[in-house]
């Protein structure tokens, strides 16, 4: 008797094999033998992304409080919302790192050098918006590269990064419009 898998080229393992493999490697948590990406590279990339999100959270917080001081309430609210969303991204990434059996790096030592984007305070409202836009564009490029690198090797991480990337594009768009609104370019 032949089954669907005997023809070669099958990609589905039978349930019994899946179950016994799951029992064998249970200590590895969510990382099963079917995980094809290079885990140490993925963890390193995710920790860099985590540092980037923490730096972006801090920069937006600073800009939020400083913009309030110069009576730019509308812009300040946008900064605050971005700060909250970057912080959510950091949490999502940290959670995925632990799922993959790694440890999220929250250490303040070397945080700025692990981050892709920079922490720039900016003196005027226009400078703050510009620096945030630059940081978003850096984040967009680095997420795009990570997504490309992951391909089909780790689709869960890839999907999470795609979601985050969409949000960063939204942030960049918000900032471009704010810059236009205050007459900067
Ligand atoms: Fe983010
Ligand atoms: Fe962002």
46-74 tens-digit pLDDT: 999 999 999 999 999 999 999 987 878 88
pLDDT in tens, 23-45: 776 667 778 888 888 999 999 99
Residue reference for tokens 């812009």: 75
Residue 184 has pLDDT above 90, yes or no: no
Q: What is residue 25's three-state secondary structure?
A: coil
- Residue 101 burial (10 A CB sphere; 0-12, 13-18, 19+): middle
How far is Cα 56 from Cα 83, in angstroms, rounded to an integer?
7
How far, in Å, from the CA of 20 to the mean position of ligand 1? 39
- Contacts for 24 with CB less than 8 Å, ≥ 6 apart: none
Output the CA 173–ligand 1 centroid distance in Å: 14
The answer, yes or no, to whether residue 108 has pLDDT greater than 50, is yes
Place of tokens 């039978």: 14
Is 50 exceeded by the pLDDT of residue 77?
yes
Conformational region of residue 34, where left means phi above 0, alpha means psi within -120 to 50, and beta covers everything else: alpha
Residue 9 Cα to ligand 1 middle (Å): 40
Q: Quick one: average pLDDT of 97-107?
A: 97
Instruction: Kindly state the DSSP code that residue 124 receives in the 8-state scheme.
Output: S
For ligand 1, the distance from its centroid to the CA atom of residue 83, given in whole angstroms, is: 8
> Nearest ligand, CA of residue 160?
1
CA of 136 from ligand 2 middle (Å) equals 5
d(CA 43, CA 104): 9
- In the predicted model, is pLDDT for residue 8 greater than 60? no
The DSSP 8-state label assigned to residue 132 in this structure reads: H
- Dmax of the chain from CA atoms? 78
- The candidate with the shortest Cα–Cα distance to 136, out of 92, 79, 77, 70, is 79
**Distance from the alpha carbon of residue 99 to the mean position of ligand 1, in angstroms:** 20
Query: Rounded mean pLDDT of 156-183?
Result: 95
What ligand has the least distance to the C-alpha of 81?
A: 2
Provide the pLDDT confidence category of residue 91 given band limits of 50, 70 and 90: very high
**For 80-89, 96-105, 137-146, which range has the lowest pLDDT when averaged over its residues?**
137-146
User: What is the 81 CA–ligand 2 centroid distance (Å)?
Assistant: 10
Mean pLDDT of 82-89: 98
């Amino acid at each position: 008797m032949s089954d669907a898998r005997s023809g070669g080229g099958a990609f589905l393992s039978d349930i019994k094999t899946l179950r016994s493999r799951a029992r064998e490697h249970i200590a590895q948590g969510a990382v099963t033998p079917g995980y094809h990406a290079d885990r140490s590279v993925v963890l390193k990339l995710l920790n860099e992304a985590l540092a980037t999100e923490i730096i972006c959270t801090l920069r937006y917080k600073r800009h939020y409080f400083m913009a309030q001081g110069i009576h730019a309430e509308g812009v300040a609210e946008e900064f605050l919302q971005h700060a909250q969303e970057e912080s959510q991204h950091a949490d999502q990434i940290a959670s995925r790192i632990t799922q993959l059996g790694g440890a999220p790096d929250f250490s303040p030592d070397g945080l700025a050098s692990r981050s892709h984007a920079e922490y720039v305070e900016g003196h005027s409202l226009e400078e703050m918006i510009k620096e945030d836009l630059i940081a978003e564009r850096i984040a967009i490029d680095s997420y795009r590269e990570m997504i490309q690198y992951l391909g089909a090797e780790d689709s869960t991480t890839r999907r999470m990064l795609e979601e985050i990337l969409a949000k960063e594009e939204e942030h960049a768009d918000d900032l471009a419009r704010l810059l236009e609104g205050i007459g900067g370019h």
